[in-house]
C-alpha cells in the first residue's frame, strides 16, 4: 500500500472528533488505540495495553505534547508489527490491513431504556401525597396549578383552615 493511502487513513483518525479544521494532523494515544479497535486489529497476542506502551515509547518531542505526527506514526506501526507478527518486516502486512479498513466509527445514538424501576418511578398513577396533586386523572401535569396552593379562601386567614372570618378583634 502507498504512503498516501496510509497518510489519508492516519489523517481521518486524527480528525475524528477534532473541532479545528486545517490544523496539522497529530494523533494522540486515544485515537491511536481507537484506530486499532475500530479496524479489529487486536487479538490475544496484541492488545490495547500494547498500543499504549508502544505509543509512549514512540519518540515525542517535547514529552508534554503527547501527540505523534505521520513519521512517528510509521515508526509506531513498525513496533506494532513486531509485537503482533513477530517481526518489523511485517509492517507492510499491518499497513495493508489499516488501509483496507474503514475509517473511524461512531457508536451510534443513545437510546432511552426502561429497565427495572424506571417505569415505576415515572408512572404518575403511583404518586402519593402532595406529588399526587400535581397531576390530573389522565396523568398530565397541572403546571403551576399543581405546585401552588390556589385556594382563594386560604388567603383570607392566617391559617389555611381558619373558619372564623371577621371574628378577629380590630383594635388597631
pLDDT in tens, 131-162: 777 777 777 777 777 666 665 555 555 555 65
User: Regarding the domain with residue range 3-100, which homologous superfamily does it belong to in the CATH classification?
Assistant: EF-hand (1.10.238.10)
Whether omega before 38 lies within 30 degrees of 0, making that bond cis, reads: no
**Cell numbers 490475544 label which residue?**
44
When pLDDT is averaged across residues 117-135 and rounded to a whole number, the result is: 70
Query: Which residue do the cell numbers 481507537 mark?
Result: 34
Percentage of the chain modeled with pLDDT above 90 = 2
In the prediction, which pLDDT does 141 show? 76
pLDDT at residue number 142:
76
User: Can you tell me which residue has the cell 399543581?
Assistant: 146
Can you tell me the mean pLDDT for 108-126? 65
Q: Is the pLDDT reported for residue 2 higher than 80? A: no
* Lowest-pLDDT choice from 11-15, 55-59, 63-67, 97-101: 63-67
Q: Where in the chain is the domain with CATH 1.10.238.10?
A: 3-100
pLDDT in tens, 23-58: 678 888 888 898 988 888 888 888 999 999 999 888
pTM: 0.57
> Sorting pLDDT into bands at 50, 70 and 90, what band is 90?
confident
Q: Is the pLDDT of residue 62 over 80?
A: no
Per-residue pLDDT, 49: 92
Smallest Cα–Cα separation from 5: which of 75, 99, 98, 81? 99
What are 135's strand-pairing partners? 141
| pLDDT range class, residue 19, cuts 50, 70, 90 | low
Q: Secondary structure of the chain in the HEC alphabet?
A: CCHHHHHHHHHHHHHCCCCCCCCCCCEEHHHHHHHHHHCCCCCCCCCHHHHHHHHHHCCCCCCCCCEECHHHHHHHHHHHHHHHHCCHHHHHHHHHHHHHCCCCCCCCCCCCCCCCCHHHHCCHHHCCHHHHCCECCCCCECCHHHHCCCCHHHHHCCCCCCCCCCCCCCCC
Amino acid at each position: 500500500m502507498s504512503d498516501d493511502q496510509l497518510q489519508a487513513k492516519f489523517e481521518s483518525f486524527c480528525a475524528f472528533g477534532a473541532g479545528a479544521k486545517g490544523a496539522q494532523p497529530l494523533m494522540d494515544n486515544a485515537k491511536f488505540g481507537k484506530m486499532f479497535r475500530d479496524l479489529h486489529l487486536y487479538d490475544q497476542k496484541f492488545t490495547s495495553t500494547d498500543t499504549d506502551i508502544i505509543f509512549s515509547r514512540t519518540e515525542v518531542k517535547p514529552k508534554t505534547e503527547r501527540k505523534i505526527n505521520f513519521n512517528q506514526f510509521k515508526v509506531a506501526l513498525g513496533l506494532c508489527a513486531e509485537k503482533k507478527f513477530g517481526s518489523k518486516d511485517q509492517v507492510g502486512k499491518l499497513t495493508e490491513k489499516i488501509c483496507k479498513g474503514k475509517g473511524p466509527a461512531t457508536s451510534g445514538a443513545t437510546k432511552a431504556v426502561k429497565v427495572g424501576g424506571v417505569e415505576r418511578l415515572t408512572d404518575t398513577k403511583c404518586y402519593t401525597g402532595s406529588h399526587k396533586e400535581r397531576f390530573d386523572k389522565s396523568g398530565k401535569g397541572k403546571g403551576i396549578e399543581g405546585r401552588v396552593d390556589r385556594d382563594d379562601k386560604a388567603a383570607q386567614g392566617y391559617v389555611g383552615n381558619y373558619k372564623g372570618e371577621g371574628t378577629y378583634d380590630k383594635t388597631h
